[in-house]
Amino acid sequence: MTKSADRPGNGHGTLAIVSDVMKYIGPGILVTVGFIDPGNWAANVAAGSLYGYRLLWMVTLATLMLIFLQHNAAHLGIVTGDCLAEAATRHLPPLLARGVLLSAFLAAGATAMAELLGGAIALRMLTGLPVWAGTVLILLFVVWLVFGTSYKRIERFIIGFVSLIGLSFVFELGLVRMEWGEAAAGWVTPALPAGALPILMSVLGAVVMPHNLFLHSEIIQSRQWNREEEAVIVHQLRFEYLDTLFSMGVGWAINSAMILVAAATFFRHAIPVTDLAQAEQMLRPILGGGAAVVFAMALLLAGVASSITAGMAGGSIVAGMAGEPYNSGDIHTRVGIVATLAIGAAAVFFVGDPFRGLIFSQILLSIQLPATIFLQIYLTSSRRVMGRHANSPFEKALLWGTAGVVTVLNGMLLIDFLH
């Protein structure tokens, strides 16, 4: 990843602070698009239509865990100049590093499947194009964009896409009658309705995503220029944290809005949604044709944007296996990008039920997630890797607590499947 020359500003006052903050907004938004992707749409629409507001608490919990994890991953990139994949290759035994990174790469491929499939479903809603044809079109567009433009331009595209998706859900929320008291309780009150565990886990897997941890540790370096000066590192960490908080807050709001709209429309009318296309069709008689079109357009934007970041994450992982940073002009990065997107596109052709495919892809991500979290905690807690910026005891407690929650929930999911 090419580094930019961002030295701590010498200006004073509110305008100077705002200017500094705005310079650092970007990497977090690229991560955010990964958890407002079509997999999230499937998980959140299912959660809202089947259980109303009762699973909103998982979005809150998952977002809090995400803030800890994403900041910690970015922390690694800022302090060491290595992404998570590079650091694993550099500091782990080769066989262990390869195993963890291969599982993360396959998780990125599963992510790409969900992103491409969701975008293709949106194209079918809007144009009637078959899913396979929509998948190919989105694949070609994403490959062209990733290889044909600069990182900075991709970042601007993604910020624009996220803004439009957010505005789309503001529009949708304005059309429905919300039970805000129930929603407020749902955000903070843990509940596990009968049969809800797979949906709950898909919501977790759709928010806390392993490929995003690899991606954030890489793209945060677009704001880094000098790791030799301690003041620069401290400056980077402070403004990265603001970027992460802001971006994850945006993601929390959009994910919550998905569940809110589904609860206020489908659950209220006792309509269980088992297909995103069904969701669009059912919105027409309930909220009107405009709402259905906005829903489909926002889903298309989410599919395209998250396909881009899934491909970039795969490229970062493969480049890291070779001990190199992400560079779309390098052969290792290019192979990683193309292979990730190709695996995702190929998987679409073998999915019989697109909606179940989206849900299942999120469950796969949540199963891989503990391995990535344990890798990250090991690296960022090591003084050999991080020097004086290694995790404090309090940070370790937060991270291990997060890892414990994720592992327990995955164990519950496995037991549920076995029964």
Across residues 149-177, what is the average pLDDT? 88
Residue 337: pLDDT band with limits 50, 70, 90: very high
Domain annotation covers residue 366: yes
Residue 35: pLDDT band with limits 50, 70, 90: confident
Distance, in Å, from the CA atom of 242 to the CA atom of 57, rounded to the nearest integer, reads 23
Residue 18: pLDDT band with limits 50, 70, 90: low
pLDDT score recorded for residue 139: 96
Residue with tokens 């590192």: 233
Domain annotation covers residue 3: no
Domain annotation covers residue 13: no
Across residues 187-216, what is the average pLDDT? 84
Domain annotation covers residue 312: yes
Domain annotation covers residue 109: yes
Ramachandran bin of 13, using left for φ above 0, alpha for ψ from -120 to 50, beta for the remaining angles: left
Domain annotation covers residue 210: yes
Across residues 275-287, what is the average pLDDT? 75
pLDDT score recorded for residue 298: 92
pLDDT score recorded for residue 321: 95
Domain annotation covers residue 291: no
Q: Best-predicted range by mean pLDDT among 12-16, 274-278, 324-328? A: 324-328
Read off the CATH number of the domain in which 382 is found: 1.20.1740.10
Write the DSSP assignment of 373-395 as a string of letters. HHHHHHHHT-HHHHGGGSPPHHH
Task: Domain count for the chain, please give it.
Answer: 1
Distance, in Å, from the CA atom of 43 to the CA atom of 352, rounded to the nearest integer, reads 18
Query: pLDDT tens across 84-124, in order?
Result: 999 999 999 999 999 999 999 999 998 899 899 889 999 99
pLDDT score recorded for residue 15: 59
Distance, in Å, from the CA atom of 126 to the CA atom of 119, rounded to the nearest integer, reads 11
Domain annotation covers residue 193: yes
Average model confidence (pLDDT) for the chain?
Answer: 85
Query: pLDDT tens across 19-28, in order?
Result: 566 666 778 8
Q: Which residue has the higher pLDDT, 255 or 273?
A: 255
pLDDT score recorded for residue 208: 78
- State which residues form the domain around 361: 24-148+176-283+302-418
Give Cα 168 distance to the centre of its chain: 19
Share of the chain above pLDDT 70, in %: 87
Across residues 255-282, what is the average pLDDT? 85
Distance, in Å, from the CA atom of 111 to the CA atom of 340, rounded to the nearest integer, reads 9
| Per-residue CA distances from 183 to 53, 65, 189 (Å) | 5, 21, 10
> Considering only 230-239, 352-361, 374-383, which range has the smallest mean pLDDT?
352-361
Residue 314: pLDDT band with limits 50, 70, 90: very high
> What's the whole-model pTM score?
0.86
Query: pLDDT tens across 213-240, in order?
Result: 999 999 888 765 555 667 777 777 777 8
Across residues 300-323, what is the average pLDDT? 94
